[in-house]
């Protein structure tokens, strides 16, 4: 068996910054509420006509990650693309990246695990690389939330939280060293599927049905989140996923050099930090700048932490996520 190493990281966010005050101009919300409850100060939104989409942002992030890995798109053996906001209902964004980056006819796999999508993608890539089937895989997380949010007061509890952007990592076979991905841990609990969901358009809510239902009170074409229930489950599952990773590797929390939690809510990240007794230097957050970018949040944060020199060779880096599904998981990496 081989091991898998992250050899390149990249991120891309659209230029348009939307502050809390900007949102307060179009819905009944305010900067104090948003910052107090979530830690978010601003987020990025695609501007209609700026040329960005989930697939193009993912391709841009991937391009940077591939270059930083010292590779070209021709060296990549597989694309794994995690998103809940694909450009098209089908096919998935992975094939668009294959086309946009002019790659060979390599496999492209789309992952639909929302906030945990990047960790699921990393885990899948790790299995393909460990067993020797592929050498270089690019794992992408990208989201275009802004176009699909209810930007009125009715949707404020969800729409102030989410932002657009993309991140990517190149995972590469490690021929000799043992360092790299130590283990990944994945979970799901479908009984909570509707608690954080977008019901339609889908085969359960086709467009003609939605039009016929409109303007009913229940609007299944905007995301729904039972915020408090999600919050309560998040703090428990984040902790479990991190503990599972530590136990699997015989490690204590004090061994963590850098925890990159999915950027769902600064309060959740701070709770986890305190629970595991980690210092500010051991946890990286950037939700303040980008809001919750779902599948993109971990690769964007990981890229920024690495760019800031906060991740060094030999560090124990822990990725952890929880979100819609519910799904959750962790990845333990010796950098």
155 is a contact residue toward ligand UT7 (CB under 6 A):
no
Contact 297, 285 (CB under 8 A): no
Among 230, 269, 301, 319, binds ligand UT7 (CB under 6 A): 230
38 or 53, CB closer to ligand UT7? 38
Nearest-angstrom CA–CA distance, 51 and 211: 29
Nearest-angstrom CA–CA distance, 79 and 176: 24
Exactly one of 93, 115, 136, 145 is catalytic; name it: 115
Nearest-angstrom CA–CA distance, 242 and 252: 10
Among 222, 231, 271, 335, binds ligand UT7 (CB under 6 A): 231
Nearest-angstrom CA–CA distance, 117 and 87: 16
Contact 7, 170 (CB under 8 A): yes
Closest distance of CB 34 from ligand UT7, Å? 6
Stretch that binds ligand UT7, among 26-34, 64-72, 129-137, 199-207 (CB under 6 A): 26-34
157 is a contact residue toward ligand UT7 (CB under 6 A):
yes
Residues 71-130 that bind ligand UT7 (CB under 6 A): 115
157 or 174, CB closer to ligand UT7? 157
Tokens of residue 157, six digits: 């509890």
Residue 139 pairs with which residues in a beta bridge? 80, 169
30 or 183, CB closer to ligand UT7? 30
68 is a contact residue toward ligand UT7 (CB under 6 A):
no
Angle in degrees, 0-180, between the axes of helices 227-248 and 266-275, rounded to the nearest 10? 40
Stretch that binds ligand UT7, among 121-129, 133-141, 205-213, 230-238 (CB under 6 A): 230-238
Strands (E), the chain: 3-12, 17-19, 42-44, 78-82, 108-111, 136-143, 165-174, 180-188, 196-197, 224-225, 258-261, 316-323, 327-334
- Is 115 known to be catalytic? yes
Q: Which residue is nearest to ligand UT7 (CB)?
A: 227
Closest distance of CB 158 from ligand UT7, Å? 7
- State the residue for tokens 């946009």: 100
4 or 142, CB closer to ligand UT7? 142
Please give the positions annotated as active site: 115, 262, 292
Residues in the site for ligand UT7, rule: CB under 6 A? 29, 33-34, 37-38, 115, 156-157, 160-161, 227-228, 230-231, 234, 264-265, 268, 292, 323
């Amino acid at each position: 068996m081989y091991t898998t190493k992250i050899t390149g990281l990249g991120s891309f966010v659209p230029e348009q910054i939307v502050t809390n005050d900007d949102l307060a101009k179009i819905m009944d919300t305010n900067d104090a509420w948003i910052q107090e409850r979530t830690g978010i100060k601003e987020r990025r939104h695609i501007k209609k006509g700026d040329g960005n989409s989930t697939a193009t942002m993912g391709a841009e992030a991937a391009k940077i990650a591939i270059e930083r890995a010292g590779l070209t798109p021709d060296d990549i053996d597989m694309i794994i693309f995690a998103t809940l906001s694909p450009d098209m209902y089908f096919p998935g964004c992975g094939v668009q990246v294959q086309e946009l980056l002019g790659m060979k006819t390599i496999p492209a796999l789309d992952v639909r695990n929302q906030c945990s999508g990047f960790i699921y993608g990393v885990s899948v890539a790790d299995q393909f690389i460990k067993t020797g089937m592929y050498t270089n895989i690019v794992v992408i997380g990208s989201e275009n939330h802004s176009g699909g949010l209810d930007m009125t007061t009715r949707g404020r509890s969800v729409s102030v939280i989410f932002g657009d952007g993309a991140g990517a990592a190149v995972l590469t076979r490690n021929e000799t060293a043992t360092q790299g991905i130590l283990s990944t841990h994945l979970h799901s609990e479908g009984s909570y599927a509707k608690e954080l969901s977008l019901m339609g358009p889908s085969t359960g809510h086709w467009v003609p049905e939605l039009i016929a239902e409109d303007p009913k009170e229940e609007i299944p074409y905007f995301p729904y989140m039972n915020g408090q229930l999600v919050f309560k489950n998040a703090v428990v599952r984040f902790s479990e996923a991190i503990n599972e990773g530590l136990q699997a590797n015989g490690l204590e929390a004090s061994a963590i050099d850098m925890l990159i939690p999915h950027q769902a809510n600064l309060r959740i990240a701070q709770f986890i930090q305190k629970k595991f007794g980690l210092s500010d230097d051991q946890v990286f957050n950037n939700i303040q700048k980008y809001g919750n970018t779902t599948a993109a949040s971990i690769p964007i944060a990981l890229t920024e932490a690495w760019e800031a020199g906060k991740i060094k060779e030999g560090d124990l880096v822990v990725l952890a996520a929880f979100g819609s599904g519910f799904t959750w998981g962790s990845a333990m990496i010796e950098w």
